[in-house]
A = this chain, B = another copy of it.
Amino acid sequence: MRADSGPSFSPLYRQIKGLLIARLQAGEWKAGEAIPSEIELAGRFGVSQGTVRKAVDELAAENLLVRRQGKGTFVATHAEQQQQYRFLRLMPDEGQQSGLGRQLLDCRRQRAPAWIARQLGMRAGDAMVEVRRILQSEGRPVVLDDIWLPGDLFKGLTTERLNRHRGPFYGLFETEFGVHMIRAQEKIRAVAADADSAALLQVPVGSPLLSVERLSYTYGDKPVELRRGLYNTSTHFYRNDLN
A interface residue numbers (CB < 8 A to B): 61-63, 86-87, 89, 91, 182-192, 206-211, 214, 231, 233, 237-243
The 10 closest A-B pairs by CB, nearest first: A190-B208, A189-B233, A208-B208, A190-B190, A188-B238, A184-B242, A187-B237, A190-B210, A186-B240, A87-B242
Q: A184-B241, A187-B238 are in contact. List 4 more A-B contacts (CB 8 A).
A: A185-B240, A185-B241, A188-B188, A188-B233
A203 to chain B, nearest CB (A): 11
Residue on B with the closest CB to A231?
Answer: B190
Q: When chains A and B are docked, how far (Å) is the Cα of A97 from the Cα of B151?
A: 35
Q: How far is the CA of A208 from the CA of B184 in the complex (A)?
A: 25
Q: How far is the CB of A40 from chain B (nearest CB, A)?
A: 24
Q: Which residues of B contact A63 (CB under 8 A)?
A: 243
Name which residue of chain B comes closest to A184, CB basis: B242
Pick the residue among B186, B191, B210, B237 that contacts A239 (CB under 8 A): B186
Sample (18) of A-B pairs whose CB atoms are under 8 Å apart: A86-B242, A182-B243, A183-B243, A185-B240, A185-B241, A186-B240, A187-B237, A188-B210, A188-B237, A188-B240, A189-B238, A190-B190, A190-B209, A190-B210, A190-B211, A192-B207, A192-B208, A206-B206
How far in angstroms is the closest Cβ of chain B from A206? 7
Asked whether, in the complex, the Cβ of B183 is within 8 Å of the Cβ of A242, the reply is yes
Closest chain-B Cβ to A119's Cβ sits at a distance in Å of: 14
CB distance from A9 to the nearest CB of B (A): 12
A96 CB, min distance to chain B CBs, angstroms: 15
- Chain B nearest CB from A73 CB (Å) reads 17
Q: How far is the CB of A142 from chain B (nearest CB, A)?
A: 12
